[in-house]
Chain A
Amino acid sequence: MKPDLADIDRLPGVHRIENCSKEQMTSLAMEMTHAVYPHDEVYGQYCPIQDYINCPPEKAFEYLADVYTLEEWTYSTRDFKPVSDDGLFVGLDRLGSTTKIYVRVVVNREAMTVDFHCSWDQGEHLWMIYLMRVVPAELVLGKPGCVVLWTNCRHPNYDRNPYPETAPAGRKIWVGDMWPFFYAGHKIELDNLKAILEYRHANRLPMTIGGPK
């Protein structure tokens, strides 16, 4: 059965040219366009960031897809080792001093998406998911290089550690306590990524460190 479009035009919050005139649309857009937006409104539940990087998209994708490069461009994740042969790794997140961080890198080469499925302390439930996508800048900005998009969603576990028994004894902080600083922290890490990729690409250096130290 074909869906009835009149139905969707009656849904509250749906604005289409069929049920909302161009004048109404303009007035709605004006109402929604502010000079400033509260930090919490922009970054309270989702943390989307992005930047242009002067490095070919394929190279950026290869770099991100290599789990060991996290030790270079992230602020505090280090010393990754494979846990099993199915792609699960464990490292240290020095933000939480001796905290273990588990990660599985899920990639789609065609779409150039690199998703880091992570968790502090335990590797059973990887709920901290860093969604990244490399876009050829030629397509979206009309110039060489790439754009990296990066989003985190505020999983309820950020607000409450569901597995407190797996934390190192005496640790006071929880990864989600830092949510108000996620924009800043991730922006700093994206700046790291940009600086490293642009440096290696400009100097024709090997892009990845190629496995564990």
Chain B
Amino acid sequence: MKTISLVGAASYLPARIVDNAFFQDSVEERTHVMFQGVTQRHHVAPDELAHEMIVQAARKLAVRLNLNLTKDVDILMTNVTTPDQPFTGCGADVGKALGCRPDWIIDVHNGGCVSFISMIAHAQALMTCHGAKTALLCNVQNAAGRLFAQEETRKLKQARIPGDGCGVAYLVASSEAPVKAVVQRNYCEYAGDMSVIRADGTKWWEPSTACTFVDFNETKIAQVMGRANRIVPEVIREACRRAELPTNEIGTLITNQPNRLFLRNWREALQVPRERHVSTFERHGNLFGAALPMCLEEAIDSGQLKNDSHLVLGGFAHAGDFAAAAVVHWKPTVR
């Protein structure tokens, strides 16, 4: 595989900040550990489109990295939790708005909360086999404002967890901040264990005014927690092994942000001290796939991610049907 580098990230947050009072904020929600720890989150506006969020974040990234987006994007990849349109992804809309014409536009609809890592793997494959030099990876989480703010849905305990945001990152075919390992694991036996349903049982394409939510119960919590405790440390350890990085030398750990306990358990399992694990959960809730690039931006901006240290990305998707991890030697050159 060709050596590729992760060189920068940027984010966009919708303007609307929603605090806990917006939801059913009873004792039950406040005391159940599964639903604790978020104090606020952002929600997309009703008419805010996924590609508009990406464009905002991409323009910020272009300023930071001194990019000319009209020509510096060979590969454009998007992952959007709640797509704008049923038939197509928004990659071409992003290209149109940015005035670029990438050789490759790929809108991925799998990989969930760690789709960012699978997009790195896709980009590396395309750079290796087809000579692409640059890639813009874009993750949008917009399910909070679109689904979990619905009148009936927001009364459910689960509604307080998701938060919206967009994270983008830039990859180049070079060795300046090399991706040392990427590991992806599919657990198809767990496919379908997380489903988004309507209260009246209709499918999303059928006419209905019923609210939408994630089908969720106490048994599922047990199953998902068991899997997450197992598959995330495993895939991260494997990525570290391939990168020849002892886990006690992880400089910065960035995982998806599902809840406080999963974050605690992963840190404990990998013995990564809290100060090396980036968390935006309290302020932004569960950012789904956008968490990785958004946490990355935060780690860069805050100075938490030190030059010449090892950045480890990892996490799992849905109810555990996919887990992935990557190791990056972070030493980007000033552009």
Contacts and interface: CB of A to CB of B under 8 A. Distances in A.
Interface string A32-57: 00011011100010000000000000
Interface centre among B226, B233, B234 (most CB of A within 10 A): B226
Interface centre among A44, A177, A178, A180 (most CB of B within 10 A): A180
Contact of A36 (B219, B220, B225, B268): B268
Contacts of B195: none
B229 A177 contact: no
A173 interface: yes
A35 B271 contact: yes
Contacts of A177: 219-220, 222-223
Interface of B: 217-220, 222-223, 225-227, 229-230, 233-234, 265, 268-269, 271
A179 B233 CA distance: 19
A26 B265 CA distance: 30
Contacts of A35: 271
A40 B222 contact: no
12 contacts: A35-B271, A36-B268, A39-B230, A39-B265, A40-B229, A173-B219, A177-B219, A177-B220, A177-B222, A179-B222, A179-B226, A180-B227
A152 B325 CA distance: 34
B269 A173 contact: no
Contacts of A174: 219
A181 interface: yes
Nearest to A172: B217
A40 B234 CA distance: 11
A101 B234 CA distance: 36
Given A38-B230, A40-B230, A178 B269 contact: no
Contact of A173 (B217, B268, B271): B217
Contacts of B219: 172-174, 177-178
Contacts of B223: 177, 180
Interface of A: 35-36, 38-40, 44, 172-174, 177-181
A36 B226 contact: no
A156 to B, nearest CB: 15
B14 to A, nearest CB: 35
A38 B265 CA distance: 10
A36 B222 contact: no
Contact of A181 (B222, B233, B265): B222
Contact of A38 (B217, B225, B269): B269
Contacts of B225: 180-181
A180 B219 CA distance: 10
Nearest to A96: B219
A172 B269 CA distance: 32
Given A38-B233, A172-B219, A173-B219, A180 B226 contact: yes
A174 to B, nearest CB: 8
A35 B269 CA distance: 9
Nearest to B227: A180
B270 to A, nearest CB: 9
B91 to A, nearest CB: 38
A174 B233 CA distance: 27
Contacts of B234: 38
A173 B223 CA distance: 11
Nearest to B215: A172
B236 to A, nearest CB: 12
Contact of B222 (A38, A44, A180): A180
A178 B230 contact: no
Contacts of B218: 173
Nearest to A37: B269
Given A172-B219, A180-B222, A38 B271 contact: no
Given A172-B217, A173-B217, A173-B219, A38 B226 contact: no
A49 to B, nearest CB: 17
A159 to B, nearest CB: 11
B33 to A, nearest CB: 11
B216 to A, nearest CB: 11
Nearest to A34: B271
B267 to A, nearest CB: 11
Nearest to B265: A39
Nearest to A95: B218
A38 B218 CA distance: 22
A172 B220 CA distance: 10
A174 B217 CA distance: 12
A110 B124 CA distance: 67
A173 B269 CA distance: 29
A137 B67 CA distance: 72
B222 A178 contact: yes
Given A173-B217, A178-B222, A181-B222, A36 B229 contact: no
